[in-house]
Amino acid sequence: MLLHLQTWEEVETYLNRSKGIIIPIGSTEQHGPNGLIGTDAICPEVIGRRVGEVADALVGPTISVGMAQHHLGFAGSVTLRPTTLIAVIRDYVVSLARHGFERFYFLNGHGGNIATTNAAFSEIYAETSMMRSGGNAPAIRCRLKNWWENPGVKRISSELFGDREGSHATPSEVSVTQFAYPEAIKRKSMGPIGPKQRDFADADDYRRLFPDGRIGSDPTLASPEHGARLVEAAVCDVAEDYRRFLAQA
Ligand code: NI
């Protein structure tokens, strides 16, 4: 159930049976020669919507621009600076908390969001934990879950792609977008896989080290069929994780 396709009365009715909401969070950034700019937003959105169906959960609007400063050396990439993203997450949660939502499950598609999202959770908790009468046990709970960090997804990625998965513009995430948007599949030949991982400081440094945008990956292996398997596995694991999150006292 998508929040933006409900009426306010339907949301009130939902709140009588659940205080939880799933919020996909991603990024708008280059994903190598054949990966869509929206890859990191598309993946959690596609998976989150299906989780919403199987877990009877509301799914909020996707936060589709994230913290992607290091990708700005490539055309089309957009970023929020960390302080802006913290403010966006905080205002999103506080708005919904006013209506009675208490469990905020952020389904993430971008590694670069992790530190900032966790900092946003601390800002949200601070409002309660620093209140004299609030103690440090806030009613609001937030969880950040990376869609790719599930046993089922990891097993399939490793079986299909092995050490050609890499860590950015991976065949797994490109497969999920090809499953979601087969009309937008790009065919592109690529050079050999570059360095697997190197420290980089920021956008210019990243572009110099990883000239076509990939990090250690071979996204020519992507296919919509692989994407279908990955989505199915992710939905299964994430729905289970979401239910556990709601059940926490
Ligand atoms: Ni990505």
Q: Over pLDDT 70: what percentage of the chain?
A: 98
Mind listing the pLDDT tens digit for each residue in 117-161? 999 999 999 888 887 776 666 689 999 999 999 999 999 999 999
Q: Which domain holds residue 104?
A: 3-240
Give the separation between CA 146 and CA 25, rounded to whole angstroms: 10
The CA 173 to ligand 1 mean position distance, Å, reads: 6
Give the separation between CA 78 and CA 60, rounded to whole angstroms: 21
Cβ atoms of residues 28 and 65 within 8 Å? yes
Mind listing the pLDDT tens digit for each residue in 36-76? 999 999 999 999 999 999 999 999 999 999 999 999 999 99
The CA 141 to ligand 1 mean position distance, Å, reads: 26
Is residue 166 domain-resident?
yes
The CA 127 to ligand 1 mean position distance, Å, reads: 32
Identify residue 44 by its one-letter amino acid code.
P
Give the separation between CA 138 and CA 184, rounded to whole angstroms: 44
Helix axes 114-129 and 82-98, enclosed angle (nearest 10): 50
Helices within the chain (DSSP H only):
8-15, 39-54, 82-98, 114-129, 151-161, 171-180, 203-209, 224-247
The CA 11 to ligand 1 mean position distance, Å, reads: 32
Q: How far is CA 161 from CA 72, 158, 230, 234, in A?
A: 28, 5, 12, 17
Is residue 248 domain-resident?
no
Report pLDDT for 136.
62
pLDDT at 5 over 70: yes
Is residue 245 domain-resident?
no
Mind listing the pLDDT tens digit for each residue in 185-232? 999 999 999 888 778 889 999 999 999 999 999 999 999 999 999 999
Cβ atoms of residues 102 and 139 within 8 Å? yes
Mind listing the pLDDT tens digit for each residue in 14-31? 999 999 999 999 999 999
Report pLDDT for 197.
76
Q: Which two tokens stand for residue 187?
A: 């065919």
The CA 207 to ligand 1 mean position distance, Å, reads: 16
Report pLDDT for 8.
98
pLDDT at 114 over 90: yes
| Structural domains in the chain (count) | 1
The CA 57 to ligand 1 mean position distance, Å, reads: 25
Report pLDDT for 153.
98
The CA 73 to ligand 1 mean position distance, Å, reads: 16
Q: How far is CA 168 from CA 1, 24, 101, 134, 197, in A?
A: 30, 19, 34, 42, 10
Is residue 249 domain-resident?
no
Report pLDDT for 139.
85
pLDDT bin (cut points 50, 70, 90) of residue 87 is: very high
Letter string b/e over residues 189-206, b meaning 16 or more CB atoms within 10 A of that residue's CB: ebeeebeeeeeeeebeeb
Neighbouring residues of 163: CB distance < 8 A, sequence distance ≥ 6? none
The CA 156 to ligand 1 mean position distance, Å, reads: 17
Identify residue 171 by its one-letter amino acid code.
P
Cβ neighbour number for residue 129 with a 10 Å cutoff: 13
Q: Over pLDDT 90: what percentage of the chain?
A: 90
The CA 168 to ligand 1 mean position distance, Å, reads: 6
CATH of the domain at 98: 3.40.50.10310
Is residue 69 domain-resident?
yes
The CA 169 to ligand 1 mean position distance, Å, reads: 6
The CA 87 to ligand 1 mean position distance, Å, reads: 23
Is residue 164 domain-resident?
yes
Which DSSP helix (H) or strand (E) runs through 22? strand 20-25
Report pLDDT for 111.
96
